[in-house]
Amino acid sequence: MPAKDRYHELVKRAFVKAGWTIAREQVYMSDNHRHIWIDLGIRRENDETLILIEIKGFDPSASMLDALMSAIGQYVVYRAMLDFLELQQPLYLAIPTTTYDGIFQIPVAKQAIVDLGIRLVVFNPLTEEIVQWKG
């Protein structure tokens, strides 16, 4: 099982605060050759739809462009696994407000989000709140 992102517990609290239930953690999927674990599966009360959340903190000491490419690549592979397994759960990439306001505002990032249909959840790490859903 992979290591949890540094914001993992904070994002869980933010979803609970916003009225979501954490249905599963480290959601496991496999194509019998490779295995992935998506950070969270959340749902609303009385709703059977499981929404999958992959959390990315974006370490400020790393290259932001490298982190962006890694996060987008991981998202695309996870979505491909969902498609391969014929699963309909929506997948979101959860990122902090500073990342959304920073690297995700450069033209190539905006274009990648549109071209690839990337769904985002933006969270404020200081207030532990979900501030935006995109997609």
In a domain, 114, yes or no: yes
What is the pTM for the complete model shown?
A: 0.93
- Does residue 2 fall inside a structural domain? no
- Please enumerate in sequence order all residues whose Cβ is within 8 A of that of 107, keeping only pairs 6 or more positions apart, or say none: none
pLDDT at 5: 83
Residue 122 belongs to a domain: yes
CA atoms of 39 and 3, how far apart (whole Å): 10
**CATH number of the domain enclosing 60:** 3.40.1350.10
Residue 3 located in a structural domain: no
Beta-carbon contacts of 21 under 8 Å, excluding residues fewer than 6 positions away, are 42, 43, 44, 45
Instruction: Return the pLDDT at 123.
Output: 98
* Separation between Cα atoms, residue 92 and residue 122, nearest integer Å: 10
In a domain, 80, yes or no: yes
Residue 45: per-residue pLDDT: 82
Arithmetic mean of pLDDT over the chain? 93
Residue at 66 is within a domain? yes
Q: Is the four-CA dihedral 30, 66, 55, 118 of positive or negative sign?
A: negative
Alpha-carbon span 72 to 112, nearest angstrom: 8
Q: What is the pLDDT of residue 2?
A: 74
| Residue 7, both tokens | 């914001």
What's the number of domains the chain is made of?
1
| pLDDT tens column, 59-77 | 777 788 899 999 999 999 9
Give residue-wise pLDDT tens across range 119-131: 999 999 999 999 9
What's at 127, amino acid-wise?
A: T
Residues spanned by the domain of 24? 8-134
18 falls within a domain? yes
Query: Does residue 125 lie in a domain region?
Result: yes
